[in-house]
Structure 1
Amino acid sequence: MGTPISIDDAAAALQVSPQYTRRLCRQKTLKADRIGNTWAVDAESVAHYKTRAGHAVAEDHPAYFDTAGSVDKPVALSFFSGAMGLDQGIEKAGFDIRLACEFDKYCRETILLNRPNTALLGDIHAYSASQIVEAAQLGTASVDLMVGGPPCQAFSTAGKRKAFNDDRGNAFLAFINLAIELQPRYLVIENVRGLLSCPMDHRPHNQRGPGFPDLSLDEMKGGALNFVLCLLKKAGYACTFNLYNAANFGTPQTRERVIIICSRDGNPAPFLQPTHAQEGTHGLPRWKTFREAVAGLKTHTHLHFPEKRLKYYRHLQAGQNWRALPTAMQQEALGKSFFSGGGKTGFLRRLSWDKPAPTLVTHPAMPATDLAHPEENRPLSIEEYKRLQEFPDSWQLAGPLVQQYKQVGNAVPASLGYAVGKLIKDLLDNQATAPPDDFKFSRYRETSHYEWRQAFERQQKVAQPTLSLF
């Protein structure tokens, strides 16, 4: 063996816990000699393990936790954890995130860098409920909260709307089935607005109307969500949901997500409690702005716009997009897209200083979804991305820059996560309160479970039912 180092030094070099480092030694993943109750670890072996793929290797491992420090905290299990944006908010509300389940290798590395003691699992299809309980080191403890944002592409209006006929949709059902088996006191599901309208089975538009059978319940708008709600109701859960704009909870970004809260005791949960309002109504402060979010940032790591786009950005000021260009330049800048429908608001878009940022995307320099700095001729930096999604500046992101943007762009803002966690914590403590009845959570209609159910029942009157309503 080469130069020996201690377990603590090896753990620091790998940026993992000493417990995890000992496990690597026992498995002989690291070259090490057992000396009494400790290990002497080969420094070269540590260096090779750390850099063999150019980054730390995030392998499945159980939870390592201080029993004394965790005993008073309710336990949460996280699935489809991503870079842990939602989880950070739930942690802040007082939960012990005992387990993270994530398949993407760069997200797994990010989880390992920042939460090395949290159990880490991969593909949700590969684990039974008993294996999850074992990995989370739950013993006889119950699961207070199970939370996850299943892959949204199967439900997104920008995709093919395949719902559960898509592998990602099947991951959604795997999540629901695990929840039904694990029986957490509360289950939280986060997803895109498209979930509200996505059918379970999509019928092509050229096969609808006169001469074709009426749509079945599965083929109606919202059929996929109805199927999930039926499964959960049968398992004894009461479910409430709404479409929430994260800006109403203190996020400096107008990002809308469906949050479904499911209660094992059968009592419907109230809506989330807002902390901000667009116009400062209900005695709340106004939405946070881009300027507030990025104040004090001095370091910026970012992608670059090609020169053919920079020539147009030099004509634009904060808050403007391609429509502010001279008419002749507009057509030149957009090319064939100039003649297409839609608002095209993402083309050549500079952010405003004194408004929240628009919804962050997974790449800030794509032609139709640009996210440019209000004044500088560049895309938003990864540091600005982190601030807008409310990641701590100290939060480490694994992988190349484009993968870092993707991780942060896909995350749930921490303030929205905190609002979710606080409501669940208040429900556990029998202290939950309802928000004002007239608070407008989003710009869309029929997005709460009350309105959504009424709209779905109206459709049912002309459908051939194949599933019961929840």
Structure 2
Amino acid sequence: MNNINDLLTIQEVANRLKVTPQYARKLIKEEKLIATRIGTQWVIKPDDLDTYISKYDVSIEPDDHARISDTIPDIVALSFFSGAMGLDIGMRKGGIPAILACEFNKYCRMTIAENEPDMALIGDINKYEPEQILEMAKLPHNRKVDVIFGGPPCQAFSTAGARRALDDERGNVFLRYVKIVEKIRPTYVVIENVRGLLSAPYPYNDVTTPIKGGALCVILDRLKAAGYTISFELYNAANFGAPQIRERVVMIGKLGNEKVSYLSPTHDENGDYELAPWQTLRDAVNDIEDKEQHYIEFPEKRLKFYRMLTEGQYWKDLPPEAQKEAMGAKLKLGGGKTGFFRRLSFNRPSPTLVTDPTMPATDLCHPTADRPLSVEEYARIQGFPDDWKICGPIKEQYRQIGNAVPIKLGEAIAKTILADMNGEVLPQIPGYSYSRYKSTSDISWRISMDEKLKKARAEQENEQLSLSFD
């Protein structure tokens, strides 16, 4: 029998579950949580709370906490904007495990705590000073950090977004990340981001109006002033063994005047350069097709269009009258014209995974079944281990996996840094096209950017002269 002092109040239950008291009362009303009324209040036995947590597989957002172990690894790495830990898993597989994760999102924090309970976990990057971060990582004052890696929120730089760049709150979080790098001064810093980072508009130096690429100029100047030499390129994850065509900017900075080499590709679309051919969707998911899959059903009004498509086709392969109807329905729901009504092919890599396959603007249909890709298939395509638990509701699971860095790309980053640490350079292929786009490396992008700046300055000067004559 429970002592009266052991019984939990509504507020205490809410605190433990990290929910509001109103939500705790809702659980009692729905009879999911057993409670007893004493006087004017409801009380809950601790055992009944544990039963509710177990029965409904409740994941509770973890508190920030220091690393469990005091042991200092040979390579000290810190992870920021860790998400579901795609980049972390890849870095670890490549030989660089992190001892601290920084993540703000509730469900991602649950995923981190579930899979990596021993590592340090901190939340809002704006609330931690560099000294506090090192303390949470249990690093002595005289131990240098070798690597800091992370993918700051990409929405501020996305070509699909409002592109407010550094004026956006999320863009400022990017600069907060840079500031932490400036203070901690790891030997290497890794920044992963979307292609839009290369052209995000922002005023730069004497160019007072936003210029495409200006945001990256600001970031590069900050890192250079901190003593880093930067190399970057736009990489297609398929060229490193991921069964997905996903292009991401990867910047690697190194303290000093030496530049880290580009990543070394392991795969090629057609198996040229004595590399393995691209991995396909079939390679990723073939052996889980008969296992239980978790997904959200497409609505019938969209399924009728998918049923007109065969494997590998998309909305332009619909009959002309159906194309008009399909795109009209999509535009009504607020979607754009790209990436809609696509039935995937088992014989190709997946297109870039979307964060929510139930949204009308981002549909990817299974090659042979009338449904979206399942959570399990998403995880396989990104390279997550089958025993990696993604926490939260199914929509949040999709979002976490879709936002993750493909594990194979993270592994390639780690191997490149480790080789540089050892004074080595992994095999390079002269003139190799890492992606579909041009002027995407630190060298070619800078040449193009200098031309843009020169043109912008001339236009600005002419405009000022014109105004002076008015």
TM range, smaller chain: 0.7 to 0.9
Please state if 1:63 is matched with 2:67.
Answer: yes
Please state if 1:144 is matched with 2:146.
Answer: yes
Distance 1:405 1:461 in 2: 44
The counterpart of 2:374, out of the listed 381, 386, 396, is 381
Contact 2:70 2:138 in 1 (8 A): no
Distance 2:227 2:325 in 1: 58
Q: CA deviation at 1:159?
A: 1.0
Find the residue that maps to 1:259 and give its secondary structure.
strand
Q: Deviations over 1:114-146 (max 9, x none)?
A: 000110000000000000000011113211110
- The more displaced of 414-423 and 91-100 is 91-100
Q: CA deviation at 1:45?
A: 6.9
Find the residue that maps to 1:368 and give its secondary structure.
helix
1:243 equivalent in structure 2:
234
Measured at CA, do residues 376 and 215 of structure 1 come closer, stay the same or move farther in structure 2, by a change above 3 Å? farther
Find the residue that maps to 2:157 and give its secondary structure.
coil
The amino acid across from 1:83 in the alignment is A
Distance 1:270 1:327 in 2: 49
Q: Deviations over 1:149-186 (max 9, x none)?
A: 00111111111111110100010000000000000000
2:98 equivalent in structure 1:
97
Find the residue that maps to 2:284 and give its secondary structure.
helix
Distance 2:298 2:281 in 1: 21
Please state if 1:422 is matched with 2:422.
Answer: no
Higher helix share: 2
5+ long unaligned stretches in structure 2: 7-15, 17-45, 459-470
Distance 1:193 1:376 in 2: 32
1:234 equivalent in structure 2:
225
Q: CA deviation at 1:267?
A: 0.6
Find the residue that maps to 2:316 and give its secondary structure.
helix
* Normalised TM-score (structure 1): 0.83
Measured at CA, do residues 463 and 321 of structure 1 come closer, stay the same or move farther in structure 2, by a change above 3 Å? closer
Distance 2:76 2:244 in 1: 29
Distance 2:206 2:248 in 1: 27
1:292 equivalent in structure 2:
283
Distance 1:196 1:119 in 2: 32
Contact 2:330 2:361 in 1 (8 A): no
Q: CA RMSD in A?
A: 2.6
Task: Describe how 1:63-212 pairs up with structure 2 within 5 A.
Answer: 63-65=67-69, 67=71, 71-72=73-74, 74-139=75-140, 140-201=142-203
Contact 1:331 1:338 in 2 (8 A): no
The amino acid across from 1:431 in the alignment is E
Distance 2:403 2:54 in 1: 26
The counterpart of 1:273, out of the listed 253, 258, 264, is 264
Measured at CA, do residues 345 and 164 of structure 1 come closer, stay the same or move farther in structure 2, by a change above 3 Å? closer
- The more displaced of 281-290 and 53-62 is 53-62
Contact 2:197 2:216 in 1 (8 A): yes
Measured at CA, do residues 48 and 300 of structure 1 come closer, stay the same or move farther in structure 2, by a change above 3 Å? closer
Q: Deviations over 1:407-455 (max 9, x none)?
A: 0000000000000011111111212235111211000010001011001
The amino acid across from 2:307 in the alignment is R
Please state if 1:445 is matched with 2:449.
Answer: no
Q: CA deviation at 1:348?
A: 1.0
Contact 1:218 1:224 in 2 (8 A): no
1:332 equivalent in structure 2:
325
Aligned length: 413
Q: Deviations over 1:26-80 (max 9, x none)?
A: xxxxxxxxxxxxxxxx76676678899942231100011262xx633x1110000
Contact 1:75 1:143 in 2 (8 A): yes
Measured at CA, do residues 165 and 185 of structure 1 come closer, stay the same or move farther in structure 2, by a change above 3 Å? same
5+ long unaligned stretches in structure 1: 5-13, 15-41, 203-213, 466-470
Contact 1:215 1:463 in 2 (8 A): no
Q: Which runs of 4+ in 1 moved over 6 A?
A: 48-53
Distance 2:182 2:449 in 1: 24
Q: CA deviation at 1:343?
A: 9.5
Measured at CA, do residues 337 and 96 of structure 1 come closer, stay the same or move farther in structure 2, by a change above 3 Å? closer
* Normalised TM-score (structure 2): 0.83
2:26 equivalent in structure 1:
none
Find the residue that maps to 2:342 and give its secondary structure.
coil
